Structure 1
Amino acid sequence: MKKFPRIVFIGSTPFSFFSLKELYTRKYNIVGIITTPDPPFFKKKNSFPIKEYALENHIPLLQPKNLLDYSFLRNFTMWKADIQIVVSFRILPIEIWSYPKMGTFNLHASLLPQYKGAAPINWVILNGEKKTGLTTFFISNQVDSGNILLQKEVEVKKDETAGELEDKLKKISGSIVRKTLEGILQKKIKPIPQKIISSSLLKYAPKISPIDCKIHWKENSIDFIYNKIRGLSPHPSAWTTLFFHKNKFVRFKIFFVKKIRKVHNFPIGLVILSSCEMKISVKEGFISVIEGQIEGKKKMNIKNLINGIQIRKNLFVR
C-alpha cells in the first residue's frame, strides 16, 4: 500500500463504488471513508456497496448525520488527509472540503459547466442531448463551479435510457478519478476555470420530484414524451394515470417504449391494445410501451402486462 497521499474517500451511491474500488485495488492509501447513515429499518442486502467495501477491507468508516457535528469533525481530522475525493455525495461544508492541503476534488457526471446539479444523467436524456461525459474539478465555494481537472466525453445513443447511460459512465468513472489523482500528484494537470456561458445557454440538472415525472400527453410532442420516459428510466420513472370506464383509474409507470410516427385521427391519450402491443396515441403518432408497471403489480414486459388487463376497451391515459 502506498503511504502517500493519505486519501479520504467520500461517496454514497453504487456509482461511487467504482471509483473507490479502482483506487483501493491500485494500492492507494485510503485512510478513511465518509458515507451516508443507514436508513432506519432498511435491510436490503448489497444496497450499500461503499459501506460493505469499507467493512470488508477494514477501512475506517464514518456515517455522519451532521457534517459539522463535533464528534464527527474530531474523528475526521484524526485521519490527517492529504487529499479528498468526492463521488456522489451531498454538498460539503467548507470545514470539510478545505481541510486537506492538496484540496478536495469531485467527480461530476456531465461536461461542466453544463448540467450542474443533482441529476445530470437524467437531464441530459430528458433534453435529448447527443453527448455528455464526466468531469473532475476542485471543490470551491460555489456548487459544481470549481476549476476543471479532467473531462471525458461520451456519446448518448438515441434510444439510451438514464440507467443505461449511468452504467456506461460507471465503467469509466474509476479510470478518470485515478488519472486525476495521478495528474495532481505528478503535477501534470493544470486546473482550468470553467467556461463562462450566458444564462440563456446554460442548462441545469436539479433534483427531480415525483410531479416532474408525470407525462403530459396532450401538451407535449412525441419526442419530448419519448425522451422523458428514457430520461427517467428506471428511476425515478415516468408515470401517468390509466383510466378505465366507470371512473376506475390506476397509476401506471412506463420504463421502455418505442415511438411510431404516423398520422392518425385518434384522440390524444387513447390506449390501443392488441394481444402483444400497447400503443398510446400522441400528436405525431404513437408511443408503444415495451415495459411498464401498473400500480400494485410488478414491473412487466408488455405481453404479460396486457394479459393482466381485464378491460380492453375505453382505456385512456391522462
Structure 2
Amino acid sequence: MNIVFMGSPEFAIPSLEQIHQSDHTIKAVVTNVDKRRGRGSETSPTPVKAKALQLGLPVIEVEDLKSSVFEQQLRELDADLFVVVAFRILPKQVLKIPKIGSVNLHASLLPKYRGAAPIHWAIINGEEETGCTVFFLDEKVDTGKIVLQEKTDIGKNETTGELYGRLRDMGAALLMKALQKIDSGNYTLSKQNDELASPAPKLFRDDCHIDFNKSAQDVHNKIRGLSPFPTAWADWNGKKFNMYKSHLEKNANVQPGVLVARDDKLLVGCKDGTIELLEVQLPGTKRMNGAEFIRGYKVEGFLR
C-alpha cells in the first residue's frame, strides 16, 4: 500500500521504522513543525521528523491541519491509507482523502481511555491490564471501528515510562499485523461500545498534586502513573517536591502527609497506610533515591 504516516513523539518511531522496512511505501511523513525547546532561540525537530530524515523519507511539517495547502499536498500523494500514531485530531476533509481510510494506533484497550493520556490514566486508576488498539478513525475522538487489539498486564509498581516503552514496541508489531490484514482485505471490524468508554484527558500541573489523605494504594498509583512526566509533586517546606517511584510499606504507621526517615527509608503517611518514596527530586537538584535524600536533608515536616 501507499501510506502517509503521521506522528510526532518518540512513541511513533518503532511504527515508522517497521513500516519503512516492510513492502509498503511511505509516500510522506507528516509531523508537527520544529519547536523551540529550552530557553534559547534554536529550534529542534520532532523525534519523528528526525527519524524520517535519517531514513530518507519526505517530510511535511504542518501547523494548521485545516489548511487548504496541506489538504492539497495530501491529495497529490495519492495514498491508499493514512497511518496515525500519537498525532493530532484530523479534520473530516482530511480523513476522507485516502482510498481505504485512516487508521490509528492507540495505547489502550478502546473504548477504555479515550483521549491524550491513556497510559497515565490506566496506571493512575489502578488498572491491572491495558494494551493497544488499531482502529479506523472517524470524526469523534477514538471512537472508530476496531481492526485489532492486544492486551498486556500492568506490573504493580510499573511506571508510565516503563509501560510506555512496552506499549510503543508492542503497538508497532500490532500495527504491522493490522496493515497486513487491511492490505489483504481479510479483516472484520468491531464496533466500540460507547457505554464502556472512559476518558483519558491531558494532564496538567494541578492534576499532578498529591493528596496524602487518599489511600496509600491511590497515592502509589498516582505517583507511578505520573512518572517520569508530568511528575507527581507536593509542597515540602515551601519547595516543590517531585516524586517518581514508590511502593507500599506495610510495616510502618505514619500520619497522613508526614515525611519521616526510618532505617534509611523515606516514608510518608497516607489515609490508611504508608508508602516508601524510592526516587525524589527538589528544584535545582538531580533525582535521588530515598537513602540519598535522607543523607542530604533534615527529614521532617509535612508534604502538603
**TM-score bracket for the superposition, by shorter chain length:** over 0.9
Q: Could you tell me the TM-score, scaled by structure 2's length?
A: 0.94
Cα offsets for 1:62-101 (capped at 9, x unmatched): 1111012233223222211111100001111112111101
Question: Match for residue 50 of structure 1?
Answer: 48
2:211 aligned with 1:211, yes or no? no
Change (3 A) 1:104 1:235: same
| Cα drift, residue 263 of structure 1 | 6.5
Q: Quote the Cα distance in structure 1 between the aligned partners of 2:154 and 2:280.
A: 23
Q: Quote the Cα distance in structure 2 between the aligned partners of 1:127 and 1:202.
A: 14
Equivalent pair of 1:33/1:60 in contact (CA under 8 Å): yes
| Cα drift, residue 213 of structure 1 | 0.4
SS in 1 for 2:18: helix
1:41-190 → structure 2 map (5 Å cutoff)? 48-190=46-188
Question: Match for residue 6 of structure 2?
Answer: 10
Equivalent pair of 2:35/2:46 in contact (CA under 8 Å): no
Q: Quote the Cα distance in structure 1 between the aligned partners of 2:120 and 2:255.
A: 30
Cα offsets for 1:237-289 (capped at 9, x unmatched): 1101112xxxxx2000000011113573x432111124732111222221111
Q: Quote the Cα distance in structure 2 between the aligned partners of 1:255 and 1:7.
A: 39
Q: Quote the Cα distance in structure 2 between the aligned partners of 1:27 and 1:163.
A: 31
Cα offsets for 1:157-189 (capped at 9, x unmatched): 111111111111112111111111110111111
Query: Higher mean Cα deviation, 299-308 or 143-152?
Result: 299-308
Which amino acid in the other structure matches residue 204 of structure 2? S
| Cα drift, residue 151 of structure 1 | 0.4
Q: Quote the Cα distance in structure 1 between the aligned partners of 2:181 and 2:88.
A: 25
The count of corresponding residues between Structure 1 and Structure 2 is 302
SS in 2 for 1:75: helix
Q: What 5-or-longer segments of structure 2 have no aligned partner?
A: none
Q: Quote the Cα distance in structure 1 between the aligned partners of 2:44 and 2:151.
A: 30
Q: Quote the Cα distance in structure 1 between the aligned partners of 2:68 and 2:246.
A: 50
Equivalent pair of 2:34/2:44 in contact (CA under 8 Å): no
Equivalent pair of 2:3/2:83 in contact (CA under 8 Å): yes
Q: For the aligned residues, what is the CA RMSD? A: 1.9
Equivalent pair of 1:111/1:135 in contact (CA under 8 Å): yes
Equivalent pair of 1:162/1:230 in contact (CA under 8 Å): yes
Which amino acid in the other structure matches residue 226 of structure 2? L
2:302 aligned with 1:316, yes or no? yes
Equivalent pair of 2:8/2:87 in contact (CA under 8 Å): yes
2:293 aligned with 1:295, yes or no? no
2:250 aligned with 1:261, yes or no? yes
Q: Could you tell me the TM-score, scaled by structure 1's length?
A: 0.90
Q: Quote the Cα distance in structure 1 between the aligned partners of 2:197 and 2:70.
A: 37
